[in-house]
Chains A and B, each alone.
Chain A
């Protein structure tokens, strides 16, 4: 059996905001259908790393190779890469002036120029999948946080991405709403979606992740399978972090 295809390869990635060096020599790979969870204290650079992967932040140095291709933000069309890499945000960022259905069909119709009737058809299937078929005509302001985040997931999936990035998808939710979003993500993982998830949900990491990456102060300190990283962390930093949150 051949090795799984490499979806993301990051080499010697460096990123600074002014004087602040937030990512330091990051090396990082994600294979097809892998679920990689990034953990670490806030300010450790995990969100920045995630945002570099779809060019919401531009690297200063190093390589980011998505599905075998390196993109030059100055020359290449970033919108092409972003169509392959879906993103879910902490604060959902649904379009408040559009209904749930309009949120989901916006990019397929505008970017991919898919016929509206077909986009609606596909959007309804996706909304059904995230359990919100009955909310299609509601505006986001009528939804709970958990529902908003599930719509956001459906909206990203509507572009049929090969990779999904999740930036603390449950951090802004009331505790009782976290479960429904994690369930949707688990479902997605089961279907073989390649996922990179920044989260504080260690239960999710343990259960769903193929690989957990611990970051501290802009560096990857340790990575490994969940049971290995959670139960037998090798680095002292990792041990301290885990004992502080568990």
Chain B
């Protein structure tokens, strides 16, 4: 098996509208699932540091389940499970599956970054008469979020690439488009490499975005 550069170039150009649409779907899957995952992650991170045993236990159970099972299984469970109880599209099954999955990792990222903020910050807020939630929201979380950005960016990239698993429940995102084209042309190699190019571009753009935000938030250094 060898790769014909010219053929590859032609494939890349000819398929651009199909893959543009597929890349758009990948972006939507990633953006929406990560957006939801940030809230899930924050919620479970706060449970974990709540000092209330039951809540910590719930958070630990969630993280245990997510980390202990493959993402593809989780996506299928959401797909078959949710389509049975609610009329829910493949897009939303995949999005919620990805959000559920990434939320656990983001919870651990947030927990670590919140705990890395010295207790003096909390004491300073409290000594000024701010209550627990004001101190958390206005003093601790903004600093913790900044510290969480590098690992969060990493998790976003993982989330973007993991969205390729949505192909298995019939979504024509980038990887789905590649396998469809591969099956149609009996030339999987070309189309998988085409999909790789799209992933590289998207990850590159995402990396730029994260470092842009990091720089913006570094104003106080």
B124 adjacent to chain A (CB < 8 Å): yes
Across the interface, which residues of B come within 8 angstroms of A87, CB to CB? 123-124, 127
B129 near A91: Cβ-Cβ < 8 Å: no
- Among the stretches A10-18, A92-100, A185-193, the one at the interface with B is A92-100
Which residue of B124, B138, B146, B221 is within 8 Å of A93 (Cβ)?
B124
Which residue of A80, A82, A91, A96 is within 8 Å of B128 (Cβ)?
A82
Q: How far is the CB of B4 from chain A (nearest CB, A)?
A: 54
> A54-97 vs B: 1/0 string, CB under 8 Å?
10100000000000000000000011101101110101011111
> B94-135 vs A: 1/0 string, CB under 8 Å?
000000000000000000000000101101111111110010
Q: How far is the CB of A159 from chain B (nearest CB, A)?
A: 6
Across the interface, which residues of A come within 8 angstroms of B143, CB to CB? 95-97
Give the nearest-CB partner of B139 in chain A. A95
- Residues 163 to 221 of chain B near chain A (Cβ within 8 Å): 219-221
A202 adjacent to chain B (CB < 8 Å): no
A95/B130 contact (C-beta < 8 A), A106-B138, A139-B220, A141-B220 known: no
A56 near B128: Cβ-Cβ < 8 Å: no
Expressed in whole angstroms, the Cα–Cα distance for A56 and B125 within the complex equals 11
Q: How far is the CB of B149 from chain A (nearest CB, A)?
A: 13
B127 near A56: Cβ-Cβ < 8 Å: yes
A243 adjacent to chain B (CB < 8 Å): no
A110 near B126: Cβ-Cβ < 8 Å: no
Q: How far is the CB of A130 from chain B (nearest CB, A)?
A: 16
- Residues 141 to 162 of chain B near chain A (Cβ within 8 Å): 142-143, 146
- Residues 38 to 92 of chain B near chain A (Cβ within 8 Å): none
A79 near B129: Cβ-Cβ < 8 Å: yes
Across the interface, which residues of B come within 8 angstroms of A97, CB to CB? 142-143, 146, 220
Across the interface, which residues of B come within 8 angstroms of A79, CB to CB? 126, 129-131
Expressed in whole angstroms, the Cα–Cα distance for A182 and B143 within the complex equals 30
Q: Give the interface residue-count category, chain A.
A: 20 to 34
Expressed in whole angstroms, the Cα–Cα distance for A110 and B125 within the complex equals 11
Q: How far is the CB of B147 from chain A (nearest CB, A)?
A: 11
Across the interface, which residues of A come within 8 angstroms of B134, CB to CB? 110-111
Expressed in whole angstroms, the Cα–Cα distance for A99 and B219 within the complex equals 10
Across the interface, which residues of B come within 8 angstroms of A86, CB to CB? 127-128
Give the nearest-CB partner of A112 in chain B. B129
Expressed in whole angstroms, the Cα–Cα distance for A152 and B125 within the complex equals 12
Expressed in whole angstroms, the Cα–Cα distance for A87 and B131 within the complex equals 15
Across the interface, which residues of B come within 8 angstroms of A107, CB to CB? 128-130
A211 adjacent to chain B (CB < 8 Å): no
A216 adjacent to chain B (CB < 8 Å): no
Give the nearest-CB partner of B142 in chain A. A97
B220 near A156: Cβ-Cβ < 8 Å: no
Most chain-B Cβ atoms within 10 A of its Cβ — which of A80, A95, A152? A95
Across the interface, which residues of B come within 8 angstroms of A93, CB to CB? 118, 120-121, 123-124
Across the interface, which residues of A come within 8 angstroms of B219, CB to CB? 139
A46 adjacent to chain B (CB < 8 Å): no
A94 near B124: Cβ-Cβ < 8 Å: yes
Across the interface, which residues of A come within 8 angstroms of B130, CB to CB? 79, 106-107, 110-111
A150 adjacent to chain B (CB < 8 Å): no
Which residue of B120, B131, B142, B220 is within 8 Å of A91 (Cβ)?
B120
A155 adjacent to chain B (CB < 8 Å): yes
Expressed in whole angstroms, the Cα–Cα distance for A139 and B125 within the complex equals 17
Which 5 A-B pairs rank lowest in CB-CB distance, beginning with the nearest?
A: A93-B124, A107-B128, A83-B129, A87-B127, A93-B120
Q: Name B residues whose Cβ lies closer than 8 Å to a Cβ of A.
A: 118, 120-121, 123-131, 134, 138-139, 142-143, 146, 219-221
What are 25 contact pairs spanning A and B, CB under 8 A?
A: A56-B126, A78-B126, A79-B129, A79-B130, A80-B129, A82-B126, A85-B127, A86-B128, A87-B123, A87-B127, A93-B121, A96-B220, A97-B146, A97-B220, A106-B130, A107-B129, A107-B130, A110-B130, A110-B134, A110-B138, A111-B128, A111-B129, A155-B128, A159-B128, A159-B129
Interface contacts beyond A107-B130, A111-B130, A159-B128: sample of 18 additional A-B pairs, CB < 8 Å, sorted by A: A79-B129, A79-B131, A80-B129, A82-B127, A89-B120, A93-B123, A93-B124, A95-B124, A96-B143, A96-B220, A99-B220, A110-B138, A139-B220, A139-B221, A141-B220, A141-B221, A156-B127, A156-B128
